[in-house]
Structure 1
Amino acid sequence: MIKANLELIHSGDWTELTKGLEVKLISLYYLINPINHINLEIMLFYGNDPSKFISNLKKHNNIYKVINTKKIRRNLFEISFMGNYNDSIRRVLFQNNVIASSLVVEDGVEKFSIFSLNDNNLETVTNSLAKMKNVNLIKNQRRKYDIVDAIQLLTPLESRIIIEAYNRGFFEHPRNITLDKLAEEFGITKTTLNFHLRNAIRKIISNFLYNQ
């Protein structure tokens, strides 16, 4: 698997609204609907009162609807909105079988972390972006990334626990299985299972961050 970090300026896109502002938007969840030409974005907004930004977002040509704005705490808000799929970077990634693992928008720049099974898909993505007259690709870093490297760091029990927890829906919301039930099936205490599960998650996250 190949990982790439892309940074680009997308002229005419809503992301331009962050230019010159002391704000940062981080994608929490997204859903693309190619049939209806819509992207749904749920993002965290870091910054002061977002009312002016939201007002401009509602007026933007690429935004169809601002669904909700929710204050989480001071200087942190959750914003959900629907936008144009056809002129989006997500369309280019989707059409070339590339996974977007994260998106950060700040100062008019879109910063994507993406994964692909091979270099050819990434090459097609960068070529497609280069052909878009309103896109300026300013950063393109690639490297091989193997999630197996992280799995190999786990003990056999940690590996079994985290795979079972994932397959049984422990990480879903709401959870499909409780910590107590998992512990019972492994024949260990809840405290012990929680210890191994947290250890496994810590190792995987540490490996991922080290490979950023």
Structure 2
Amino acid sequence: MIVRYASGSFDEKFSMVYFKMKHENCWSRITEKYDISIHTLKLLPYKDKNAIYGIFEIRVNNKHNLKEFLRSLNKESTIKNVTSLNLSELKRSVYIMDLYENYDGMIQGKLNDYNSIFYFDIVKGGLEEKYAVLPSENVKELKNDLQSLGDLYEFRAKYLKNFYDILAPYFTFSPIEMQIIVEAYNHGYYDIPRKTGIRELADSFGLSKSTVQEYIRSAEAKALSSIKLFKLMDELKEG
């Protein structure tokens, strides 16, 4: 097979969409009843089995609300199985849950049908706010399909001018930057209080203190490039 280089860029091939809606199924209804916020961490769709495996982050104010939420969740017809609930290490009020839910009739299923390559959401107060990146040619059809699932209050789309904004490029890091930033993390440079300093890192690599500082700053700037993505999401939401 011969792969030919196509001139141009991804500037108009992919679009980011933002939408806010009240879905007729599970998540909108259940967050309307309880003071709880849900964020999707990972989804694995199995269309042929009419199932989606999801890992979710849940923030809830008290354990009573959590128990009532889980009781209601287990009664939902769209939920196949709640497999686990673990206390997150991030905060006491944040939990991690994984479950299987239906593919058909779910927003996540629609996004998968339209080849979404990025997904971010917050569900609370009976409303689902979602961002996705998908081929620009699929945006109009996605909007039409979402309207069939519930009340679509907002929908905006924008060409993704820099495709790299939604990815985590590996080769932007030089080998030495990657080595130093990982070593710094492993030895507690980013702990509070800090367990190691620039001098110790410089000694372990046989480099000067200023050189190690430069590598760390460069690697940190690249690692924080995801801020561009959140800036783009905020701009799209505000219109």
Q: Structure 1 length normalisation: TM-score?
A: 0.76
The residue number in structure 1 matching 2:114 is 96
Q: Is the counterpart of residue 146 in structure 1 residue 161 in structure 2?
A: yes
Corresponding residue SS for 1:126: helix
Bigger Rg over Cα: 2
Cα deviation for residue 12 of structure 1 reads: 3.0
1:41 to 1:15, Cα distance in 2 relative to 1, 3 A: farther
CA distance in 2, matches of 1:39, 1:150: 26
Alignment of 1:185-200 (within 5 A): 192-200=214-222
Corresponding residue SS for 2:115: coil
Could you tell me which of 18, 27, 35 is aligned with 1:5? 18
1:148 to 1:137, Cα distance in 2 relative to 1, 3 A: closer
The residue number in structure 2 matching 1:31 is 44
CA distance in 1, matches of 2:118, 2:58: 19
Cα deviation for residue 101 of structure 1 reads: 1.8
1:98 to 1:83, Cα distance in 2 relative to 1, 3 A: same
**Any conservation in 1 of the 2:39–2:57 contact (CA below 8 Å)?**
yes
Amino acid at match of 2:220: R
Alignment of 1:57-72 (within 5 A): 57-72=73-88
The residue number in structure 2 matching 1:74 is 92
Residue ranges of structure 1 left out of the alignment (5+ in a row): 152-158, 171-177, 181-186
The residue number in structure 1 matching 2:226 is 205
**Any conservation in 2 of the 1:14–1:63 contact (CA below 8 Å)?**
no
The residue number in structure 1 matching 2:59 is 46
The residue number in structure 2 matching 1:125 is 142
CA distance in 1, matches of 2:221, 2:27: 40
Cα deviation for residue 210 of structure 1 reads: 2.2
**Any conservation in 2 of the 1:19–1:108 contact (CA below 8 Å)?**
yes
1:148 to 1:12, Cα distance in 2 relative to 1, 3 A: closer
The sequence identity of aligned pairs, in percent, is 16
Corresponding residue SS for 2:143: helix
The residue number in structure 1 matching 2:3 is none
1:92 to 1:199, Cα distance in 2 relative to 1, 3 A: same
1:81 to 1:62, Cα distance in 2 relative to 1, 3 A: same
Corresponding residue SS for 1:162: coil
1:149 to 1:70, Cα distance in 2 relative to 1, 3 A: closer
CA distance in 1, matches of 2:172, 2:228: 16
CA distance in 1, matches of 2:154, 2:218: 38
CA distance in 1, matches of 2:78, 2:84: 17
